[in-house]
A and B are shown apart, each in its own frame.
Chain A
């Protein structure tokens, strides 16, 4: 534990175990985490053998898929952690934002466990989870800037102190992950095509230079739909002239534009708010081009950068435990009539 514990109502000299559940979208995940940072298990549906039992790999979008895998994954996480359910001190669960039917499955499972074990329930914000995945790998120094880049989210979040979230920039149309997947569609890759575009861009020798969408000079918001249109227009232009579009040069041009804008704004935010640390998080943090550029920009600016390993960047329950730990240490619990929230404010979830 690193932070000031002024509001702590829970004895901090005793080991504690949180069991966390995440079902906000595609993945069913359950983790067991000791003392807020030590991951004892972190089981994610798409990464285990459960699929075989249900005949093939299918997206976990449908609530029924979450229901089918939920109990198996809870059992697996508890077994792998080597703990007894009776040792669990609190149940954390993603309350929102996300797909309501998917969230509900996790929330109902979490409430049932909390009630059966007679331990507190901690409703947790999904994006706080992505950000606090960084706390599983290192100490966070405040103020910090978090760059959240995932399938469904692209946000710059200022953390002036532990657990205090302020969104200073967000996407006005596509999230970075969505922009990647849509460009991948235009380049004829199957869904989800983001990683294909990253790979193609890395291998490219040429670059079709595409516009940068900086928006208003002082804005930390993003917009990627114009860039998507530019890629499509370029493909059309080549075809009209009877040429074959150079997909790798286009992938490179697209990637360079996204990376310039995303890292440029994050660094500007770090400077403006005097950040002592940069946190990269979300599924798109796996993108090599993005990691490399942000690393070099942070080094230049003298701002230490944390990037969790890929398994903690994509949706997983260990990150939910890491965020829930903020509330656990302050004794801020949810009641059993807590509702899953498709829309949920990160700022209001602050400690």
Chain B
């Protein structure tokens, strides 16, 4: 088995967005969906109940997915047809890195659709070289801090287009 490291070296910049309500999260997911292209990879992390699946549902809705998007925890991958792009929804929580590697996720990452991986940090070494990390931190009952870490030029441009606030060095996020 071969697991390659795909870190580009150095600490990548992070960007923050404070959201006050579920509606704000939905709006952010829609804005991201506007930018999505075949091969988009969103690597989403956040504690249980932070709203990863809610974010995925809003993203899928904005891609024109008509089906109910429910949790992929048990089945690991669920595929949907969207009006604009196919949507691949993954939850890798119950996988080891080795198992995830054997699943051949690259076929999705490099496929025709947009992929959203929940608990992505568990499989970071096998994520594609370019992807957008999105960490959802619970700051209150409704409020969240969304921290984006773009890897690759496309996603760095996304952060600029989305007018996200760069996080200054030494600034704590959680």
Give me the interface of A with B, judged by CB distance under 8 Å.
25, 58-59, 61-65, 97-101, 150-152, 170-175, 177-178, 181-182, 185-186, 191-192, 225, 228-229, 232-233, 342-343
7 A-B pairs besides A100-B77, A225-B54 with CB distance below 8 A are: A25-B76, A62-B103, A172-B70, A174-B53, A175-B71, A177-B74, A178-B74
Contacts of A175 in B (CB 8 A): 70-71, 74
Q: Given A170-B68, A225-B54, A228-B49, are A151 and B77 also a contact pair (CB < 8 Å)?
A: no
Which of B57, B74, B79 is close to A343, meaning CB atoms less than 8 Å apart? B79
Q: Given A62-B99, A62-B102, A63-B102, are A171 and B70 also a contact pair (CB < 8 Å)?
A: yes
Complex contact B103–A229 (CB within 8 A): no
CA distance A151 to B73 in the complex (A): 9
Q: How far, in Å, is A349 (CB) from chain B's closest CB? A: 16
CA distance A97 to B70 in the complex (A): 14
Complex contact B70–A174 (CB within 8 A): yes
Which of B49, B74, B81, B102 is close to A151, meaning CB atoms less than 8 Å apart? B74
Complex contact A152–B103 (CB within 8 A): no
Q: Given A25-B74, A98-B75, A174-B71, are A186 and B48 also a contact pair (CB < 8 Å)?
A: yes
Complex contact A99–B75 (CB within 8 A): yes
CA distance A37 to B141 in the complex (A): 52
CB-nearest residue of chain B to A25: B75
CB-nearest residue of chain B to A64: B102
Q: How far, in Å, is A284 (CB) from chain B's closest CB? A: 11
Complex contact B48–A182 (CB within 8 A): yes
Complex contact B70–A191 (CB within 8 A): no
CB-nearest residue of chain B to A223: B70
Question: Cβ of B170 < 8 Å from any Cβ of A?
Answer: no
Q: How far, in Å, is A301 (CB) from chain B's closest CB? A: 28
Which of B53, B78, B81, B99 is close to A59, meaning CB atoms less than 8 Å apart? B99
CA distance A233 to B68 in the complex (A): 26
Q: How far, in Å, is B126 (CB) from chain A's closest CB? A: 13
Give how many B residues have a beta carbon under 8 Å from the other chain's beta carbons.
26
User: Digit string of B4-45 for contact with A (CB within 8 Å is 1, else 0)?
Assistant: 000000000000000000000000000000000000000000
Contacts of B53 in A (CB 8 A): 173-174, 225
Complex contact A99–B76 (CB within 8 A): yes
Complex contact B103–A63 (CB within 8 A): yes
Contacts of B73 in A (CB 8 A): 152, 174, 178, 181-182
- 25 residue pairs from A and B, CB less than 8 Å apart: A25-B74, A61-B99, A65-B102, A98-B75, A99-B103, A101-B103, A151-B74, A152-B73, A171-B70, A173-B53, A173-B70, A174-B53, A174-B70, A174-B73, A175-B74, A178-B71, A178-B73, A181-B74, A182-B73, A186-B49, A191-B93, A191-B94, A342-B78, A343-B78, A343-B79
CA distance A60 to B53 in the complex (A): 25
Which of A59, A170, A185, A342 is close to B77, meaning CB atoms less than 8 Å apart? A342
CA distance A58 to B80 in the complex (A): 28
Q: Given A229-B49, A343-B80, are A101 and B74 also a contact pair (CB < 8 Å)?
A: no
Contacts of B57 in A (CB 8 A): 173
CA distance A343 to B54 in the complex (A): 21
Question: Cβ of B172 < 8 Å from any Cβ of A?
Answer: no
Complex contact A342–B79 (CB within 8 A): yes
User: Digit string of B53-92 for contact with A (CB within 8 Å is 1, else 0)?
Assistant: 1100100000000011011011111111100000000000
CB-nearest residue of chain A to B93: A191
Q: How far, in Å, is A95 (CB) from chain B's closest CB? A: 15
Complex contact A172–B68 (CB within 8 A): yes
CB-nearest residue of chain A to B80: A343
CA distance A232 to B48 in the complex (A): 8
Question: Cβ of B95 < 8 Å from any Cβ of A?
Answer: yes
Q: How far, in Å, is B16 (CB) from chain A's closest CB? A: 22
Contacts of A232 in B (CB 8 A): 48-49
Q: How far, in Å, is B76 (CB) from chain A's closest CB? A: 6
CB-nearest residue of chain B to A177: B74
CA distance A156 to B79 in the complex (A): 22
Contacts of A229 in B (CB 8 A): 49
Contacts of A177 in B (CB 8 A): 74
Contacts of B67 in A (CB 8 A): 343
Contacts of B71 in A (CB 8 A): 171, 173-175, 178
Complex contact A101–B104 (CB within 8 A): yes
Contacts of B102 in A (CB 8 A): 62-65
CA distance A65 to B103 in the complex (A): 10
Complex contact B76–A61 (CB within 8 A): yes
CA distance A182 to B73 in the complex (A): 9
Q: How far, in Å, is A15 (CB) from chain B's closest CB? A: 36
CA distance A152 to B75 in the complex (A): 6
CA distance A98 to B73 in the complex (A): 12
